[in-house]
């Protein structure tokens, strides 16, 4: 029941913030922020209360929705869901905060969309019914489309359309696969249901399993994104408003990774093992290709977008390594990437508010003007290149450690990615904050609101770096992928 | 004619009587409001006449008609759709034409034609219903005589409809010549006894398909659709998009079931090619259109293609899917045309995309309704269109029609592009100084109707169980 409440709070707050915006923008922002903080507190309380329990599923809520098809409103939470949902509310709250000044037009509709997309994402992380999963999966697209298309930068409509079409195409393939699974299960057991737990261990022909798995996998690879399907990402990330970029990079990409962990691997274990080398190869290509492209960018946000491609390659590499170390690394990587990339997008947005350009060539020497911002970027850039002591290091180290056991050569190449990451990360610092400065005027450094956001992010990334055990304990509960 | 016949045909008889009375009313005293009110009343009475008819189902009136759950359900659907179109019509005609009253006579007549199609099980009644429908539509399409494109549309429809009727008749004659039957079950039995499909019967079916395909607006018989949607008065376009196509589809399903169409692969392949072609042509041509009416025309061609996919799945779920999709499609199409109706001024229809630019910031409620309708056409969750598309895909997977399903998926993505283009236009921020030519009328009755349609759309999208149960129960009879 508490899980339904999480969704309902967001949904009601979305409507409420839209309505009250006609009267007061400030109230609308507070409603949005308040609802997300309440949800965050609820999730943290759940987490604190469930650190030691051994049973995997903490909450299970199920009512029939369309019994004719065996569709139910089935929500459940385990360690993975909990971590993802906590990340969702954390980054969601920060998204509201960073939009405080940036979004001054159509405030109500903005917060409606923001909360609605967060509601969809939360649903994706919590639902244990495949129809409902597809429902939420599609539901988060429309508000995201608006977030990019209305409040974005110059080429926002192009970016929004591209994003929408790519993910829809993937989503429809997944729908076919879901229905295929439904009928295969029905034909074999005479129970027609979309329930996740029933569909686990569906007996099926290897050939069928291969096709169905591909349907799921392509949808998730588009979202992650893996290399041949990644072209929507740089456009969408670059053109979206800051909050849009944070939600995209921090959360939407994670739904793809989550889908692989939750659905592809457990539902089709044999087929997943078969395709593992190819998927890991795609991951490594993503790591190297994304890093190389990131190095070549001149647009700050586009650069960060390509680093996402690179970092999410590690997720793919680890997910198909089939051992617990890699798996825990993947979960860590999902969280730390959300935090560090989100932070970089937030700073890029703050910088854009001040100097009105994203072009790296027009920046330089900003350290003397913006020392606080410079140090913040330094921290997250170090995180991005995998400096020990920050969360990203733990994540990438674990992934590489795990994938070494599965495939040595690919791991070697993936490690090269870390070198390139160092190059592009340091280039950010070099281009933006060091070098000559031809600006005579002063710029305001981080204000109170931005400090709160940055400090929160810094604390989390250090905490994940120095004391990752609580997260690892929680994600440990999931052990079905281990071969 | 027995008492049971009388009650079973209640809706039809009510409407027929209403046409006569309405005609006399108009002759005695021309008053727009009165005829409008009377037509609404007639539709409501016809709807209530369904209730006593339920007691007698299934009831056959040999050899022409059959009243079963399937036909009563569709009768209800058509009557409700007609009622809503009527509601949207009043203001539209009030502002435009001097002689508005005959419109209602023609609309009632056309509805009767559609109802006859829904209950017919015989070539004679089929042709009668079709002609009542077509001939009323000639008048309806060209009703606003002073507009430039209305004559063109009317004449085009007249020519093509007459031609396709001729093909239909010839096809029927061929089928009759070789089976010796004109009632659908009789044909089915004769063919089954023959054990194969003779060439002449095949040719007959092919010719009949031209007549049927024309009414459904499927490729390659779709050419008329965009021009007629553009030239016809908006409520009439909504009527053609929904009731006229829906009634024909219902007839096609009944015919196909009665002759056991799935037993003949040749027939299956022809329909499959038509389905794929309809999806591609409809969506492809819609991509570049700037006129909303033409977009809706092409999109309805594509939607007929989707429905045919369910039709071809050859499973029970397929028929349920069609019925559900039809309901969703009716709501969505009437809603979309309704938006165009309330947005149109007395001088000009709001038909270009430019008229809708930034609509959300000027008239948020209308834009929200239109967005909901477009998203439903695109099949996005929380709308009836999503459940409908889901149902169709489900039927396809159940029938293992993977090829058709992939075509459907590709087309859904193409289709999305032009729907979201419209949505994006409504939410885009118009540049200062850029103003639309059309000042929307936004009549009260129209707005309320639209809001109700939207609520219905979302309700079906969120809780479709009740409708599904109704449909499932009704389809059990048919198979």
The pair of three-digit structure tokens given for residue B38, joined into one six-digit string? 């009377």
Instruction: Please calculate the CA angle A141-A145-A151 and round it to the nearest 5 degrees.
Output: 145
The number of C-beta contacts closer than 8 angstroms across A and B is 71
In this predicted model, which residue has the larger pLDDT, B350 or A37? A37
- Of B365, B342, B151, B373, the closest CA to residue B242 belongs to B373
> If interface means Cβ-Cβ distance under 8 Å, which residues of chain B face chain A?
361, 375, 380-382, 386, 390, 393-394, 397-398, 405-406, 409, 412-413, 416-417, 420-421, 424, 427-429, 463-465, 468-469, 472
* Cβ–Cβ < 8 Å for B35, B44: no
What average pLDDT score do residues B283-309 get? 92
Specify whether the CB–CB gap between B229 and B165 falls below 8 A: no
Whats the size of chain A, residue-wise? 483
Structure tokens at B350: 């709001």
Q: So what's the pLDDT on residue B402?
A: 87
Closest residue in A to B395 (Cα) is A179
Confidence at residue B167, expressed as pLDDT on a 0 to 100 scale: 94
Does the pLDDT value for residue B154 go beyond 50?
A: yes
Residue B284 makes CB contacts below 8 A (sequence gap 6+) with B414
Helix (H, G, I), strand (E, B) or coil at B218: coil
B397 → closest Cβ in A139, A141, A183: A183
Which of these, B40, B51, B39, B38, lies nearest to B10 by C-alpha position?
Answer: B51
Distance CA B321, CA B310 (A): 7
Distance of alpha carbon A265 from alpha carbon A483, whole angstroms: 11
Query: Could you tell me the pLDDT band of residue A121, with boundaries at 50, 70 and 90?
Result: very high
Q: Over 80: is that where the pLDDT of A480 sits?
A: no
Instruction: Identify whether the C-beta of residue B346 lies closer than 8 Å to the C-beta of residue B305.
Output: no
Query: Which ranges of A50-140 would DSSP assign to H, the alpha helix?
Result: 79-102, 107-126, 130-139
For residues A147 and A247, the answer to whether their CB atoms sit within 8 Å is yes
Q: How many CB atoms are located within 10 Å of the residue B82 CB?
A: 27
Rounded Cα gap, residues A439 and A428, in angstroms: 18
Nearest-angstrom CA–CA distance, B404 and B414: 15
Lowest mean pLDDT among A30-44, A149-163, B226-240: A149-163
Residue A481 scores a pLDDT above 70: no
Q: Taking CA B132 as the corner, what is the angle to CA B129 and CA B135, rounded to the nearest 5 degrees?
A: 140
Asked if pLDDT for residue B83 goes beyond 90, the answer is yes
Give the C-alpha separation, B420 to A13, whole Å. 26
Percent of chain B with pLDDT over 70: 97
Q: What is the CA radius of gyration of chain B?
A: 21
Helix (H) or strand (E) holding A364, with range, is none
What is the predicted pLDDT for the residue at A53? 56
Report the pLDDT value the prediction gives residue A115, as an integer from 0 to 100.
92
Kindly tell me the sign of the dihedral angle through the C-alpha atoms of A69, A73, A79, A82: positive
Give the 3-state secondary structure of residue B183: strand
Mean pLDDT, chain A, rounded, equals 87
Across A193-207, A431-445, B371-385, the highest mean pLDDT is recorded for B371-385
CA pair distance B154, B132, nearest whole angstrom: 16
Q: Can you tell me the distance from the alpha carbon of A230 to that of A228, in angstroms, rounded to the nearest whole number?
A: 6
Helices (runs of H) and strands (runs of E) counted in chain A: 21, 2
With CB atoms and an 8 Å threshold, state whether B386 touches A138: yes
Name residue, tokens 């080429």: A155
Question: B88 near B238, Cβ under 8 Å?
Answer: yes
Per the CB < 8 A criterion, the answer to whether A340 and A269 are in contact is no
SS (H, E, C) A282-304: HHHHHHHHHHHHHHHCCEHHHHH
- Could you say which of A66, A172, A182 has the minimum Cβ distance to residue B409? A172
A377-419 residue pLDDT tens: 899 988 888 888 888 999 999 999 999 988 889 999 999 988 8
pLDDT at B479 over 60: no
β-pairing verdict for B59-61 and B65-67: antiparallel
Q: Which of A130, A159, A160, A316 is nearest to A227 (CA)?
A: A316
CA distance B117 to B130: 7
Cα distance between the two ends of chain A: 34
Cβ atoms within 10 Å of B453's Cβ, excluding its own: 23
Q: Which of residues 45-84 of A touch B (CB under 8 A)?
A: 65-69
**Phi/psi zone of residue A389: left (φ > 0), alpha (ψ -120 to 50 degrees), beta?**
left
Per-residue pLDDT of A288-344, as tens digits, reads 999 999 998 888 889 999 999 999 999 999 999 888 888 889 999 999 999 999 999
Distance set, CA B449 to CA A192, B69, B334, B368 (Å): 38, 27, 10, 14
| DSSP-derived 3-state class of residue B431 | coil
- Give the model's pLDDT for residue B432: 64
**Rounded distance, CA B186 to CA B258, Å?**
8
Find the CB nearest A165 among B417, B429, B472.
Answer: B417
Range A142-161 average pLDDT: 87
DSSP A67: G
Distance CA B289, CA A409 (A): 52
Query: Is the CB of residue A423 less than 8 Å away from at least one CB of chain B?
Result: no
CB-CB under 8 Å, B375 with A68: no
- The neighbour count for residue A294, using CB atoms within 10 Å, is 27
Contacts of A176 in chain B (CB under 8 A): 393, 397, 405-406, 409
* Encoded tokens for B464: 């479709």
pLDDT tens per residue, range B46-63: 999 999 988 887 888 888
What's the CA gap between B420 and B103, in Å, rounded?
A: 35
Q: Do A68 and B472 count as a contact with CB atoms less than 8 A apart?
A: yes
Indicate whether A118 pLDDT > 70: yes
Rounded distance, CA B238 to CA B371, Å?
18
B314: alpha, beta or left? (left if phi > 0; alpha if psi -120 to 50): left
CA–CA min distance B465, chain A (Å): 5
Give the pLDDT band (50/70/90) at residue B436: low
* C-beta of residue A243 within 8 angstroms of C-beta of residue A117: no
A194's tokens: 């979309």
* CA angle centred on B229, ends B224 and B234, rounded to 5°: 155
What share of chain A in percent tops pLDDT 90? 34
CB contact under 8 A, B420 and A164: yes
Q: Do B397 and A179 touch (CB under 8 A)?
A: yes
d(CA A58, CA A369): 50
Contact residues, A window 90-109, toward B, CB-based 8 Å cutoff: 106
Using alpha carbons, select from A287, A290, A300, A297 the residue that is nearest to residue A396: A287
Q: What share of chain B is helix, strand, coil (3-state, %, to 5)?
A: 80, 0, 20
A390 and A337 in contact (C-beta within 8 Å)? no
Question: What pLDDT digit, counting tens, does each position of A210-244 carry?
Answer: 999 999 999 999 998 888 888 899 899 888 888 99
| Whether A265 contacts A275, CB under 8 Å | no
Contact A149 B393 (CB under 8 A): no
**Which position has the token pair 């965009």?**
B226
Q: Within 13 Å of residue A161, how many CA atoms lie on the same side as its CB?
A: 15
**Closest Cα in chain B to A159:** B424
Return the HEC string of B88-122: HHHHHHHCCCCCCHHHHHHHHHHHHHHHHHHHECE
Tell me what percent of the residues of chain B surpass a pLDDT of 90.
48
Which helix (H) or strand (E) segment holds residue A76: the answer is strand A71-77
- Domain residue ranges of chain B, discontinuous segments joined by +: 277-479
Q: How far is B118 from chain A (nearest CA, A)?
A: 27
| Residue A453 burial (10 A CB sphere; 0-12, 13-18, 19+) | buried
Separation of alpha carbons A432 and A446, rounded Å: 16
Domain boundaries along the sequence of chain A: 294-483
What distance in Å separates the CA atoms of residue B301 and residue B222, rounded to the nearest whole number?
7
Residue with tokens 């710029």: A443
Q: Is the pLDDT of residue A97 over 60?
A: yes
What's the ipTM? 0.83
| Count of residues in chain B | 479
B435: Cβ–Cβ under 8 A, 6 or more apart, which residues? none
Using the beta-carbon criterion (under 8 Å), do A139 and B381 form an inter-chain contact?
yes
- Which tens digits make up the pLDDT trace of A257-276? 999 988 988 888 888 888 99
Average pLDDT over residues B11-34: 92
Handedness of CA A260, A263, A269, A271 (dihedral sign): negative
Minimal Cβ distance to B375: which of A131, A142, A172:
A142
Maximum Cα–Cα distance for chain B, whole Å? 73
If you average pLDDT over residues B384-389, what whole number do you get? Answer: 91
- The C-alpha atoms of residue B67 and residue B61 are separated, in whole angstroms, by 8
Task: Decide if pLDDT at A483 tops 50.
Answer: no
A19 touching B (Cβ < 8 Å) = no
Q: Residue B467: phi, psi to the nearest 5?
A: -65, -40
* Cβ atoms within 10 Å of A80's Cβ, excluding its own: 21
Alpha-carbon gap, residue B7 to B12, rounded angstroms: 10
Measured between beta carbons, the chain B residues lying within 8 angstroms of A141 are 380
């Amino acid at each position: 029941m508490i899980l339904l409440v999480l969704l309902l709070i967001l949904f009601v707050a979305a409507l409420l913030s839209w309505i009250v915006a006609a009267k007061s923008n400030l109230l609308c922002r507070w409603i949005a922020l308040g609802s997300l903080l309440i949800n965050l507190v609820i999730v943290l309380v759940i987490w604190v209360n469930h650190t030691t329990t051994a049973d995997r599923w903490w909450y299970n809520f199920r009512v029939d929705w369309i019994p004719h098809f065996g569709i139910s409103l089935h929500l459940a939470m385990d360690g993975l869901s909990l971590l993802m949902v906590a990340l969702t509310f954390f980054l969601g709250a920060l998204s509201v905060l960073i939009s405080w000044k940036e979004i001054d037009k159509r405030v109500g509709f903005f917060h409606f969309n923001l909360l609605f997309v967060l509601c969809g994402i939360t649903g994706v992380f919590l639902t244990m019914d495949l129809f409902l999963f597809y429902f939420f999966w599609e539901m988060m697209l429309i508000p995201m489309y608006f977030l990019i298309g209305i409040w974005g930068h110059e080429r926002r409509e192009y970016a929004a359309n591209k994003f929408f079409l790519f993910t829809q195409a993937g989503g429809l393939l997944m729908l076919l696969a879901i229905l295929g699974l439904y009928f295969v299960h029905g034909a074999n057991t005479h129970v027609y249901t979309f329930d996740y737990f029933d569909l686990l261990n569906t007996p099926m022909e290897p050939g069928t399993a291969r096709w169905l798995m591909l349907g799921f996998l392509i949808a998730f690879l588009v979202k992650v994104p893996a290399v041949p399907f990644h072209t929507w990402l740089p456009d969408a990330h670059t053109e979206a408003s800051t909050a849009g970029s944070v939600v995209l990079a921090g959360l939407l990409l994670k739904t793809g990774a989550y889908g692989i962990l939750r659905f592809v691997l457990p539902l089709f274990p044999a087929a997943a093992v078969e395709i593992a080398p190819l998927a890991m190869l795609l991951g490594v290509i993503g790591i190297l290709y994304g890093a190389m492209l990131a190095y070549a960018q001149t647009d700050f946000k586009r650069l960060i977008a390509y680093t996402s491609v690179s970092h999410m390659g590690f997720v793919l590499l680890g997910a198909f390594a089939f051992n617990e170390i890699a798996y825990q690394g993947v979960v860590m990587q999902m969280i730390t990437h959300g935090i560090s990339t989100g932070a970089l997008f937030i700073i890029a947005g703050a910088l854009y508010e001040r100097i009105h350009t994203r072009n790296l060539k027009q920046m330089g020497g900003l350290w003397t003007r913006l020392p606080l911002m410079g140090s913040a970027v330094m921290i997250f850039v170090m995180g991005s290149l995998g400096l020990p002591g920050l969360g990203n290091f733990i994540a990438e180290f674990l992934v590489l450690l795990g994938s070494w056991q599965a495939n040595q050569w690919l791991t070697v190449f993936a490690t090269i990615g870390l070198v390139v990451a160092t190059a592009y990360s340091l280039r950010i610092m070099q281009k933006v904050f060091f070098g000559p400065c031809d600006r005579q005027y002063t710029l305001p450094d981080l204000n109170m609101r931005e400090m709160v956001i940055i400090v929160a992010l810094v604390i989390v990334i250090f905490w994940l770096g120095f004391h990752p055990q609580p997260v690892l304990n929680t994600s440990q509960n999931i052990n079905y992928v281990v071969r | 004619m027995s008492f049971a016949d009388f009650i079973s045909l209640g809706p039809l008889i009510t409407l027929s009587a209403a046409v006569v009375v309405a005609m006399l009313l108009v002759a005695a005293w021309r008053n727009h409001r009165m005829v409008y009110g009377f037509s609404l009343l007639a539709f409501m009475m016809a709807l209530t006449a369904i209730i006593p008819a339920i007691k007698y189902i299934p009831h056959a009136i040999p050899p022409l008609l059959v009243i079963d759950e399937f036909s009563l359900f569709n009768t209800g659907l058509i009557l409700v759709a007609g009622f809503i179109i009527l509601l949207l019509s009043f203001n539209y005609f009030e502002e435009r034409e001097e002689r508005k009253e005959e419109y209602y006579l023609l609309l009632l007549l056309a509805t009767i034609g559609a109802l006859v199609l829904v209950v017919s099980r015989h070539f004679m009644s089929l042709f009668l219903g079709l002609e009542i429908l077509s001939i009323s539509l000639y008048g309806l399409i060209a009703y606003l005589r002073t507009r430039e494109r209305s004559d063109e549309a009317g004449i085009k429809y007249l020519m093509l409809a007459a031609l396709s009727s001729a093909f239909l008749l010839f096809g029927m004659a061929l089928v009759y010549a070789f089976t010796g039957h004109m009632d659908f079950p009789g044909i089915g039995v004769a063919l089954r006894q023959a054990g194969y499909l003779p060439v002449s019967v095949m040719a007959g079916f092919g010719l009949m398909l031209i007549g049927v395909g024309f009414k459904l607006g499927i490729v390659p018989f779709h050419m008329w659709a965009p021009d007629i949607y553009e030239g016809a008065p908006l409520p009439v376009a909504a009527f053609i998009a929904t009731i006229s196509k829906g009634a024909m589809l219902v007839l096609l399903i009944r015919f196909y079931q009665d002759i056991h169409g799935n037993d003949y692969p040749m027939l299956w392949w022809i329909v499959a090619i038509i389905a794929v072609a309809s999806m591609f042509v409809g969506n492809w041509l819609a991509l570049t259109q700037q006129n909303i009416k033409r977009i809706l025309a092409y999109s309805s061609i594509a939607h007929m293609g989707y429905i045919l996919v369910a039709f071809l799945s050859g499973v029970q779920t397929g028929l349920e899917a069609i019925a559900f999709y039809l309901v969703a499609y009716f709501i969505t199409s009437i809603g979309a045309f309704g938006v165009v109706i309330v947005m149109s001024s007395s001088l000009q229809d709001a038909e270009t995309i430019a008229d809708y630019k930034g609509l959300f910031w000027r008239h948020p409620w209308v834009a929200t309704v239109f967005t909901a309708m477009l998203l439903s056409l695109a099949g996005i969750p929380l709308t009836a269109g999503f459940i409908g598309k889901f149902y169709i895909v489900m039927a396809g997977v159940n029938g293992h029609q993977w090829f058709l399903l992939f075509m459907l998926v590709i087309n859904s993505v193409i289709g999305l592009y032009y729907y979201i283009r419209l949505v994006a236009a409504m939410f885009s921020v118009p540049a200062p100084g850029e103003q639309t030519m059309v000042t929307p009328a936004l009549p009260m009755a129209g707005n309320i109707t639209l809001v109700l349609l939207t609520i219905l759309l979302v309700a079906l999208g969120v809780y479709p169980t009740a409708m599904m149960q109704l449909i499932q129960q009704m389809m059990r009879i048919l198979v």
